[in-house]
Amino acid sequence: MTADEDPLEASAEELYEDAPCGYLSTTMDGTIVRVNRTFETLSGHRREDLIGVARFQDLLAPGDRIYHDTHHLPMLHLRGAVREIAVEVMRPDGSRLPALVNSMVRRDREGAARAIGVSVFDATERRRYEQGLLEARRREHEVALELQRGLLTGAPPAAPGLEIGVAYKPGVSDLEAGGDWYDAFWLEEGAAVALVVGDVVGRGIGAAATMGQLRSAARALAAGRPEPGALIDALEGYSRRHAVGRMATLVYAELELDVGRLRFACAGHPPPVLVAPGAPARLLWEGRSTPLDARPSAPPRRDDVCTLPAGGAVVLYTDGLFERRTRPLDEGLARLVAEVEARRDAPAEELAHGLVRAMLPSGNADDVCALVARRRSAPEA
């Protein structure tokens, strides 16, 4: 009885030829020595045109050929097997077969690599789905950036005694962009200004939306002129009640222009840098507490006060500015202070941008933001 009559009795040869995936055997350089019928059907190539003539990589789309020679083969040499490589096989009629490829090195008795077994799976539908997902992810990244940009527009307050500069660079990685925000607004026109820099957990559209809520809430709460610690307590209350922005960090500061009184609080956020004439730049380590809603209940938050003399500047920023995967944190902070020192007299805008340039010679995966407020002695009336 033949397999045509009873598939359960099919010979090894028949199982090979009509396996549910395309199958090729090649020499170590890819030259095809054997293919099965399924591969002929999937690829549209006839075996007599392939065997001894073509290499497997010759059948791939040009970009995939580069990928094959620079990634797939080296890995195969090292590991002996590679799985789930996405390629497009070129058909003789010019169409392409999206495929997933598994490869395995076959050895002789002495252990010498002699042949490569390649199985080829039709992945047309799966690839279409993946392309859709990639496209959706790209779009989400763009929407998040758009949303974030939209929320962060608007000229910062300006007055004869005040100069504010902002540098903001969204992260290049779509996995990390979307959560940083900055804000500067009048508490009392021409007399007192609020400065805020914050960072919410998460990424993408969700993070951008959360950031927008916290930013608006902070603005609304600031109207009552609470002390910075109390403002963050109230913001935490908002965060709890509305289940938004848990574990967000922020620094909030209030600057009175006439006397230079700077009152500030840091909720789990990196410390501001203060640079004043005649004194070295330093980190403001006071007024610290935990991120929003980090603990079920906590004592009232602390804040602290210092003086920002005329001619001095304070720098608020997010951790993307100084954090490096490969370097200790205090090293990054020390560098930041040194970079502020090096620009101690620069205009606010220049200082902010100069810092981002100097601190980020590398591609910033994460968002980065620096806000500088410089106090100028008011011109003689």
Partner 1 sequence: MLLAHGFGCDQGMWRHVWPAFAEDHRVITFDHVGHGGSDAGAYDPERHATLRGYAEDVLDIVRELDLRDLVFVGHSVSSMIGALAAAEEPDRFAHLVLVGPSPRYIDDEGYVGGFTREDIEGLLESMDSNYLGWAGAMAPVIMGNADRPELGEELAETFCRADPELARRFARATFLADNRADLARVRTPSLVLQCARDVIAPDAVGEYVHRALPGSRLVRLAATGHCPNLSAPQETVAAIRAYLAA
Contacts to partner 1 by CB under 8 A: 28-30, 55, 57-58, 61-67, 69-71, 73-75, 77-88, 100, 104-107, 111, 113, 127, 130-131, 134, 172-173, 324-327, 361-363, 365
CB-nearer residue toward partner 1: 153 or 326: 326
Report the nearest approach of partner 1 to the CB of residue 356 (Å): 13
CB of 77 to partner 1, least distance (A): 5
Q: Residue 177: which of 150, 141, 136, 134 has the closest Cα?
A: 141
The CB-of-222 to partner 1 minimum distance in angstroms stands at 37
Q: For partner 1, which is the closer residue by CB, 28 or 201?
A: 28
Q: How far is the CB of 281 from partner 1 (least distance, A)?
A: 23
In whole angstroms, how close is the CB of 104 to partner 1 at the nearest point? 5
Query: From the CB of 176, what's the least distance to partner 1, in Å?
Result: 11
Please, what's the b/e burial string for 154-167 (b: 16 or more CB within 10 A of its CB; e: otherwise)? eebbeeebbbbbbb
| Nearer Cβ to partner 1 (71/149) | 71
> Which CB sits closer to partner 1, 276 or 359?
359
Nearer to partner 1, 242 or 327 (CB): 327
> Which lies closer to partner 1 via its Cβ, residue 60 or residue 234?
60
Shortest distance (Å) from residue 324 CB to partner 1: 5
3-state secondary structure the chain: CCCCCCHHHCCHHHHHHCCCCEEEEEECCCEEEEECHHHHHHHCCCHHHHCCCCEHHHHECHHHHHHHHHHHHHHHHHHCEEEEEEEEEECCCCCEEEEEEEEEEEECCCCCEEEEEEEEEECHHHHHHHHHHHHHHHHHHHHHHHHHHHHCCCCCCCECCEEEEEEEECCCCCCCCCCEEEEEEEEECCCEEEEEEEECCCCHHHHHHHHHHHHHHHHHHHCCCCCHHHHHHHHHHHHHHCCCCCCCEEEEEEEECCCCEEEEEEECCCCCEEECCCCCCEECCCCEECCCCCCCCCCCCCCEEEECCCCCEEEEECHHHCCCCCCCHHHHHHHHHHHHHHCCCCCHHHHHHHHHHHHCCCCCCCCEEEEEEEECCCCCC
Of the pair 107, 225, the CB lying nearest partner 1 is at 107
What minimum distance in Å lies between the beta carbon of 302 and partner 1?
33
Residue number with CB closer to partner 1 (27 or 213): 27
